[in-house]
Amino acid sequence: MSDSKDKDSILGQAGPLLDSGQTIQSVGDKVTSVIFRKKQPIPWFVVLGIASMLLGSLTLSVVWLLMKGTGVWGLNIPNAWGFAIVNFVWWIGIGHAGTLISAILFLFKQQWRTSINRFAEAMTLFAVACAGMFPLLHLGRPWVFYWLFPYPSTMGVWPQFRSPLVWDVFAVSTYLTVSVIFWYTGLIPDLATMRDRAKNKVGKIVAGIFAMGWRGSARHWHRYEVAYLLLAGLSTPLVVSVHSVVSLDFAVSIMPGWHTTIFPPYFVAGAIYSGFAMVLTLMIPVRSIYGLKSIVTMRTIDNMAKIMLATGLMVFYGYLNEIFFAWYSGNKYESFMMLNRMTGPYALQYWMLILCNGIIPQLLWFRKVRQNVISLFIISIIVNIGMWLERYIIVVTSLHRDFIPSSWDNYAGTIWDWGLYIGTIGFFLFAMMLFIRWVPMIPIFEIREIIHAKTKKTLGTEKKP
């Protein structure tokens, strides 16, 4: 033990991986108690209530949009891309943290990921679902969304394969599919635990069906380990590819401010940045409300803050790089775009973005700030806002000043843009609350493995309560 403690302090790890006193039994009790408790805590009901109201806003905005068409949004020419794309990129970026935590950190054997991976993956799924709504609704006729897929249709034409918007379809649908399978595969052993612990027959049957006959035999475990490793390997490139493709939506065009090669890495860093911010925003309250502080320890929180700091610096480098190349390129359209960004009609949003994404997160250099959940919570929300502003600035500042001054026009979201946006936040929170209520949000068996490895005892059969 003292060995590992020394190693931890050299690596600057904050506190232990798990609080002492956790046993194989107590972990199972703690995590399943969230589901089997008689009544959910009051904050759960409050969030569910707010989320339901926001869902109403989503329904209203979508119905109105379908009745009237995309004209109810603030779109115009030249601003043909507005909130729909901003929100799409924002949501899909948030999803990336989940995949990074569950796949890449798994391959790198980062044990601290264990306590948050399922939660983050669920966040990924719901964020991708929210993201998917925007391009679909932007189609104008979302009911023919299947035209996006290449299939031998009665139209006799194929989608334009040279368009990054078609690449998006593949990137996002692959991402969603792999994320669902990965999440579900990791869930199976815990669903079996749920089945065994369920207090009534219906619960047993439902959890039993989803557990797919998991008995925990050595053969099951062996197959599980192989499958999980393969899926982690499959998900790893997706962390990079999905947001790279999203960035190509912009970079492949010839708009000043979009037409840059730095976009793919800069977008990926931004995605992970915003994703970790969202995990922190959600996890900080959840761990304290459900008494999971001994499993999701300060060490995990601290590590997430560090990743946020690192990716935040990459993103900030991206901003500086954009400014530098606007000058260094000698291209007058580029330099005009950058000057206009800083001093034009969207200057406020730009400087807010620099403040939220570049300046304030520098506080994360201080251990005291990282160790204080309240300050971390506030910073994570600021980063979420900053990342939204970043996409807004990218989309709007390039479009609203076109090459020809006669086509210039300003952009602002209408009430329906905002209604749809906060509506998807409602959808996201609603889904998260249902997830917390019905699914073990922390992988019980993986935490047990850590305890098992720690205590170096053989895994005994668990006594059922």
Partner 1 sequence: MAQVFRPSANTIAKASIFFLMVLTIAGLCGLDLIHRSPYVRYTHRPKEQPVPFSHKHHVNMGIDCRYCHTTVEESASANIPSTRICMNCHSTIWKDSPMLEPVRESWQTGKSLEWNRVHDLPDFVYFNHSIHINKGIGCVTCHGPVDEMPLVHREKPLFMKWCLECHKAPEKFIRPQEEVFNMDYKEPKNQLELGRKLVKEYHVQNENNRLTDCWICHR
Q: Is 237 in the site for partner 1 (CB under 8 A)?
A: no
Where does this chain touch partner 1 (CB under 8 A) — which range of 204-212, 312-320, 382-390, 442-450? 204-212
Q: Is 306 in the site for partner 1 (CB under 8 A)?
A: no
- List C-alpha distances in Å: 369 to 15, 93, 376, 380: 15, 25, 7, 12
**What is the distance, to the nearest Å, from the Cα of residue 406 to the centroid of all Cα atoms in its chain?**
40
CB distance 293 to 392 below 8 Å = no
Q: In the numeric block, which tokens belong to residue 223?
A: 């197959």
From 239, 247, 245, select the one nearest 394 (Cα to Cα): 247
DSSP state of 262: T
Q: Is 28 in the site for partner 1 (CB under 8 A)?
A: no
Query: Closest separation between CB of residue 203 and partner 1, Å?
Result: 10
- List C-alpha distances in Å: 290 to 34, 294, 361, 426, 434: 7, 11, 28, 21, 15
Unique residue bearing structure tokens 């949501």:
91
Residue closer to partner 1 (CB basis): 208 or 257: 208
Which of 8, 19, 29, 196 forms a contact with partner 1 (CB under 8 A)? 196
Q: Is 138 in the site for partner 1 (CB under 8 A)?
A: no
Residue closer to partner 1 (CB basis): 147 or 438: 147
Q: Report how far residue 271's alpha carbon sits from residue 123's, in angstroms, rounded to the nearest whole number.
A: 13
Q: Is 213 in the site for partner 1 (CB under 8 A)?
A: yes
Which of 195, 243, 287, 341 forms a contact with partner 1 (CB under 8 A)? 195
- Which 156-175 positions form the footprint of partner 1 (CB under 8 A)? 156-157
- Cα torsion through 290, 296, 302, 303, rounded to 10: -140
Q: Is 154 in the site for partner 1 (CB under 8 A)?
A: yes
Do you know the residue count of the chain? Answer: 465
Query: Closest separation between CB of residue 165 and partner 1, Å?
Result: 15
Where does this chain touch partner 1 (CB under 8 A) — which range of 193-201, 330-338, 394-402, 442-450? 193-201
Rounded to 5 degrees, what are φ and ψ at 340?
Answer: -65, -35
Where does this chain touch partner 1 (CB under 8 A) — which range of 122-130, 199-207, 372-380, 442-450? 199-207
Q: Is 460 in the site for partner 1 (CB under 8 A)?
A: no
Q: Is 212 in the site for partner 1 (CB under 8 A)?
A: yes
Q: Is 201 in the site for partner 1 (CB under 8 A)?
A: yes
Where does this chain touch partner 1 (CB under 8 A) — which range of 153-161, 273-281, 331-339, 442-450? 153-161
Write the single-letter amino acid at 228.
Y
Q: Report how far residue 334's alpha carbon sits from residue 336's, in angstroms, rounded to the nearest whole number.
A: 5
Residue closer to partner 1 (CB basis): 405 or 460: 460
Burial 114-124 (b: 16+ CB within 10 A, else e): bbbbbbbbbbb
Q: In the numeric block, which tokens belong to residue 55?
A: 């869902």
Write out the residues near partner 1 by the rule CB under 8 A.
153-157, 195-196, 201, 204-205, 208-209, 212-213, 464
